[in-house]
Amino acid sequence: MATPAAKKPAGRRGRTPSRTPRGRRPTPGALDRVAGGRITKHESPRPSHADSSYLEEGSSRLDDVEREMEADRYEEMMEEKKLFPGSEEWSPDEERLFQLLFMRQYIPLMPPHWSVDFRGIPLPKILFATSEVDRAVIYSQSERDFRATKAIIRLIDLTASVRAFVQTNQKAKIPGYMKKELDQYVRWAALDGHYEHPHELPNLIVEVVDMSIGGAGITDYIQARLRGLAEQHRTFWRETPERPPVLYGLFIVNTTLLVLTVDPSKGEEAHVSYQVEVNFNQRNQGVWNAITVAIVVCLARDDMITRKQYFGK
């Protein structure tokens, strides 16, 4: 898929490359596939054990310096958001995904006790500073934490595996291998959310895109795939009081993963929104590639959990 030249999320000053997330975002006018909606406060389901035993109710683990850094980064994020055509009309879930991906280096994302399982892996301490104020995004709904952290560590290893395939001239194996590993993480999320046998309409898809169809062909395929799924969701949810869920697409193009969304509730003209892309052949990006995938999959899982009552209908 031909993607526009774009700014990379800036890393924290002085941070080593292995701890700086990279990803490309579109410039004005480069893409017209931005989904619409209104930005409102959005809350996802949280684990009942959200570390409340560690802190007084309503307290935060972040110090003043971290809060100030987060605030500064937030201002940068709002400026970059202006580069996305139609971003002022994103749905709440698309807005939240954008914020989490942009701020992922500077905000708490995982439970504090998970840090033990990641010893030896270069992760900023702030990622484990979740609390009653800063709720976890990447966590286990079923409280099976070891399985959850093991699944993320496997995602972290995926970048090294892809680079090994490149270095040994086995590039043809990469897309299929990436899909297998991403599918496995999606299956973990389904088991964790106890919806391993949901209805036939997923809110997240992982697909390999055929490079031979060219840039325009790739763009057309991705948009048609997500819009087709959006139409199926509109038909299904029309018989319920629920709005269709935002749909997430993880599309593998060679060593690159494209993250896109679409809001089916916007109707047949709903645009597909390019969120970010990550390169699994990029040195020292294993951690941030994994965090990116985990954020998307966990958001999709949380939404599926709220809809389990409609499964099987």
Query: How many other CB atoms sit within 10 Å of the CB of residue 181?
Result: 19
Q: In what order do the strands lie in the sheet with 256-262?
A: 204-208, 247-253, 256-262, 272-279
Whether residue 119 has pLDDT greater than 60: yes
Q: What is the dihedral of CA 109, 111, 113, 119, to 10 degrees?
A: -20
Give the CA-trace dihedral at 93, 98, 100, 104, to 10 degrees. Answer: 160
Range of the domain at 153: 19-307
Q: How confident is the model at residue 29 (pLDDT cuts 50, 70, 90)?
A: very low
Determine the Cα–Cα distance for residues 24 and 175; give it in Å rounded to an integer: 20
Residue 312 lies in a domain: no
Predicted confidence at residue 191, as pLDDT, reads 94
DSSP 24: B
Q: Tell whether 161 is covered by a domain.
A: yes
How much of the chain exceeds pLDDT 70, in percent? 75
pLDDT of residue 63: 61
pLDDT, tens digit, for every residue of 146-187?
A: 999 999 999 999 999 999 999 999 999 999 999 999 999 999
Task: Enumerate the β-bridge partners of residue 153.
Answer: none
Residue 4 falls within a domain, yes or no? no
pLDDT class for 134, splitting at 50, 70, 90?
confident
Query: Does a structural domain hold residue 60?
Result: yes
Q: E strands of the chain, at which residues?
A: 204-208, 247-253, 256-262, 272-279
9 domain residue, yes or no: no
Which among 308, 296, 305 is positioned nearest to 93, based on CA atoms? 296
pTM of the model: 0.80
Residue 98 is assigned to a structural domain of this protein: yes
Question: How many helices (H) and strands (E) are present in the chain, helices listed first?
Answer: 6, 4
Q: Is the pLDDT of residue 234 over 70?
A: yes
Of the candidates 31, 64, 13, 23, the residue with the CA atom closest to the CA atom of residue 272 = 31
Q: What is the pLDDT, as a whole number, of residue 89?
A: 77
Cα(276)–Cα(292) distance, integer angstroms: 9
**Count of structural domains, the chain:** 1
DSSP H/E element including 288: helix 286-306
Give the pLDDT score at 198.
57
**How many other C-beta atoms can be found within 10 angstroms of the C-beta atom of residue 42?**
12
pLDDT at position 79 is 87
pLDDT band with cut points at 50, 70 and 90 for residue 73? confident
Q: What pLDDT, in 10s, does the model give residues 37-67?
A: 222 223 334 433 333 333 333 445 556 656 6
Asked whether the beta carbons of 296 and 248 are under 8 A apart, the reply is: yes
pLDDT for position 102: 92
C-beta separation of 3 from 258 below 8 A: yes
> Residue 237 pLDDT > 50, yes or no?
yes
Give the three-state DSSP class for 272: strand
pLDDT in tens, 205-228: 999 999 999 999 999 999 999 999
Longest dimension (CA), the chain: 57
Name the more confident of 200 and 170: 170
The strand ranges marked E within 54-209 are 204-208
User: For residues 286 and 250, what is the distance between their CA atoms, to the nearest angstrom?
Assistant: 17
* 10 is a domain residue: no
Q: Which two tokens stand for residue 256?
A: 């690159």
User: Is 60 exceeded by the pLDDT of residue 12?
Assistant: no
